[in-house]
Amino acid sequence: MPTRAEIDSLPLSPAHKARLLCRHNLVETTSGLAGDYVQANLIVLHSDYSNDFRMLCARNPVPCPILGWTPVGDPRKIIPTSPDVSVIEDSDFDIRTDVPYYHIFHTVDDDSYEGGKKVIIETKSNLLSTWTDNHIAFLIGCSFSFEQALTQSGLRVCHQEDSRTVAMYQTTIPLLPAGIFHGSTYVVSMRLYKPDEIEQVRDVTRPYSASHGEPVAWGWEGAKLIGVNDLGKVDYGDAQVVREGDVPVFWVCTFPPVSPHVEPHALFFMVADERIGLRRNTSIRSRKSA
Applying CB under 8 A, the residues found at the interface with a second copy are 54-55, 58-59, 61-62, 172-174, 176-179, 185, 202, 206, 209, 213-217, 225-226, 252, 290
Shortest reach from residue 37's CB to a second copy, in Å: 24
Q: Using CA atoms, how far apart are residues 142 and 175, in angstroms rounded to an integer?
A: 17
**Edge-to-edge strand list for the sheet holding 185-193:** 167-174, 185-193, 247-252, 217-218
Shortest reach from residue 162's CB to a second copy, in Å: 27
Cβ nearer to a second copy, comparing 227 with 237:
227
Cβ nearer to a second copy, comparing 37 with 53:
53
Cβ nearer to a second copy, comparing 77 with 206:
206
Shortest reach from residue 255's CB to a second copy, in Å: 14
Cβ nearer to a second copy, comparing 214 with 246:
214
Q: Give the count of alpha carbons within 13 A of 89, CB side only.
A: 5
Q: Using CA atoms, how far apart are residues 126 and 106, in angstroms rounded to an integer?
A: 16
Cβ nearer to a second copy, comparing 60 with 70:
60
Shortest reach from residue 185's CB to a second copy, in Å: 8
Shortest reach from residue 196's CB to a second copy, in Å: 17
Q: Using CA atoms, how far apart are residues 211 and 125, in angstroms rounded to an integer?
A: 26
Q: From residue 36, how far is each of 74, 115, 153 by CA, in Å?
A: 27, 45, 16
Q: Which residues contact residue 97 at a Cβ distance below 8 angstroms, ignoring those fewer than 6 apart?
A: 22, 23, 126, 127, 128
Sign of the four-CA dihedral 238, 144, 227, 44: negative
